[in-house]
């Protein structure tokens, strides 16, 4: 194999295509693209259409007609702005915490793990294999009123007996942080792993101390991973409602909880649709601004 790498590099990128301008790529694309258009794009339009519907006077629950009532958006936002803002705050904190935990973790795996690198990578993904819901339920019991942490803490004389860990913002944010940690770690690892250790040595040779090397060489080179990791954590965290439902209380509800209960408990489809649409739009705008600002366009 070695001689191949010495040969002249003829392939310009991955698509030194077998053929160009044939019908083959379109045949390959068609089934999957049709699936995505039918079950992703069209539903988004369906959601938009539902969001401006109105329930006619005296009609059955769950019956709505199209009246292009854009006031629905204003009403939905005004009624739920608290949960809306809270979702982004919780997701933002969880993302920062996940970054703080995942960066040293990814760094250790990439530079300090030696031959155990693959083992550690498997260990990062392994908790995924136990269902996400089971792990969240486990946290509710570990942090719960009868759980091991609280019952140990309450043995201490200065801990108030009414102290609770679940049903608090703390529990919801740590649940979010926990659940999306691997999504942060893997992209970080992927970009750290690509760094040639010699660039770090070179920085040292040029009299940069450890911290300067980290700040001026490691972090900039890890930026694509930071961007991908924060997006992969922030987006699902902002829309999540499982953590808030299991680990929170009514005053920690996030926008996902509202959308879910509007759909199922209240059967108010237009409000749920308007909220979902606003959530998606906000996230898309934030993501676009963020990617522009960090200057890494090659995410996919």
Partner 1 sequence: MSTLSAAPMPSLSHRASRWFSRNLIRIYAGLAFIYLFIPVAYTFAFSFNDAGKSNLVWQGFTLDNWKNPCGAPQVCSAVANSIQIGLLSTFIATVLGTMIAFALGRHKFRGRTSTNLLIFLPMATPEVVLGASLLAMFLNLRVNPGFWTIVISHVMFCISFVVVTVKARIASLDPRLEQAAMDLYANEKDTFRYVTLPLVMPGIAGAALLAFSLSFDDFIITNFNSGIETTFPKFVYVSAARGIPAQANVIGSAMFFIALFIVIIGQVVSRQRKKS
Contact between 210 and partner 1 by CB under 8 A: the answer reads no
Out of 153, 170, 239, 249, which residue is the one contacting partner 1 (CB under 8 A)? Answer: 239
Residues 16-35 that bind partner 1 (CB under 8 A): 16-22, 24-26, 28-29, 31-33, 35
User: How far apart (Å, rounded) are the C-alpha atoms in residues 251 and 162?
Assistant: 18
Site for partner 1 in 148-207 (CB under 8 A): 178, 181-182
d(CA 235, CA 214): 28
Q: What is the DSSP letter of 299?
A: -
Residue 38 beta carbon to partner 1: minimum distance, rounded to whole angstroms: 9
Q: Which of residues 108 and 168 has its CB atom nearest to partner 1 in the complex?
A: 108
Hey, how many other C-beta atoms are within 10 angstroms of the C-beta on 61?
8
Quick check: 235 binds partner 1 (CB under 8 A)? yes
55 touches partner 1 (CB under 8 A) = no
Can residue 136 be called a binding residue for partner 1 (CB under 8 A)? yes
Using CB under 8 A as the binding rule, whether residue 139 contacts partner 1 is answered as yes
By CB under 8 A, the residues from 265 to 284 that bind partner 1 are 269, 272-273, 276-277, 279-280, 283-284
> Residue 157 or 168: which CB sits closer to partner 1?
168
Nearer to partner 1, 25 or 204 (CB): 25
> How far is it, in rounded angstroms, from Cα 185 to Cα 189?
6
Q: Which of residues 81-110 bind partner 1 (CB under 8 A)?
A: 101-102, 104-105, 107-109
Query: Are 232 and 287 within 8 A, CB to CB?
Result: no
Selected from 59, 68, 74, 126, the binder of partner 1 by CB under 8 A is 126
Residue 40: C-alpha distances to residues 34, 73, 240, 268, 278 (Å):
10, 22, 19, 22, 17
Give the range of 70-78, 130-138, 152-160, 218-226 binding partner 1 by CB under 8 A.
Answer: 130-138
Q: Does 285 contact partner 1 by CB under 8 A? A: no
User: Cα dist. 183→109, 137, 287, 294 in Å?
Assistant: 15, 20, 16, 19
CA 104, chain centre distance (Å):
19
Cβ-based neighbours of 220, under 8 Å, separated by 6 or more: none
Estimate to the nearest angstrom the gap between the alpha carbon of 82 and the chain centroid: 21
């Amino acid at each position: 194999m070695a001689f191949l790498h010495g040969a002249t590099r003829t392939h310009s990128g991955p698509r030194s295509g077998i053929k160009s301008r044939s019908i083959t790529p379109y045949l390959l694309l068609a089934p999957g693209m049709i699936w995505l258009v039918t079950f992703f794009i069209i539903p988004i339009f369906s959601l938009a259409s539902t969001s401006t519907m109105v329930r006619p006077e005296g009609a059955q629950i769950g019956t709505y007609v199209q009246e292009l009532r854009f006031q629905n958006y204003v009403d939905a936002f005004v009624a739920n702005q608290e949960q809306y803002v809270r979702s982004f705050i919780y997701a933002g904190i969880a993302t920062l915490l996940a970054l703080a935990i995942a960066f040293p973790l990814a760094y250790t795996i990439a530079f300090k793990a030696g031959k155990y690198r693959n083992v550690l990578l498997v260990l990062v993904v392994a908790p995924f294999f136990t269902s996400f819901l089971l792990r969240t339920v486990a946290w509710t019991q570990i942090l719960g009123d009868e759980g091991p942490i609280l019952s140990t803490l309450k043995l201490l004389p200065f801990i108030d007996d009414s102290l609770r860990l679940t049903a608090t913002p703390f529990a919801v944010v740590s649940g979010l942080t926990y659940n999306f940690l691997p999504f942060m770690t893997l992209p970080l690892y992927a970009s750290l792993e690509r760094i040639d250790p010699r660039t770090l040595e070179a920085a040292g040779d040029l009299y940069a101390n450890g911290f300067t090397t980290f700040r001026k060489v490691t972090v900039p080179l890890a930026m694509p991973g930071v961007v991908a990791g924060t997006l992969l954590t922030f987006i699902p965290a902002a829309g999540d409602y499982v953590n808030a439902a299991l680990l929170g209380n009514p005053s920690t509800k996030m926008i996902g909880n509202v959308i879910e209960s509007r759909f199922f408990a209240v059967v108010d489809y237009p409000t749920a649709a308007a909220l979902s649409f606003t959530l998606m739009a906000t996230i898309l705008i934030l993501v676009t601004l963020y990617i522009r600002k960090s200057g890494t366009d090659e995410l996919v």
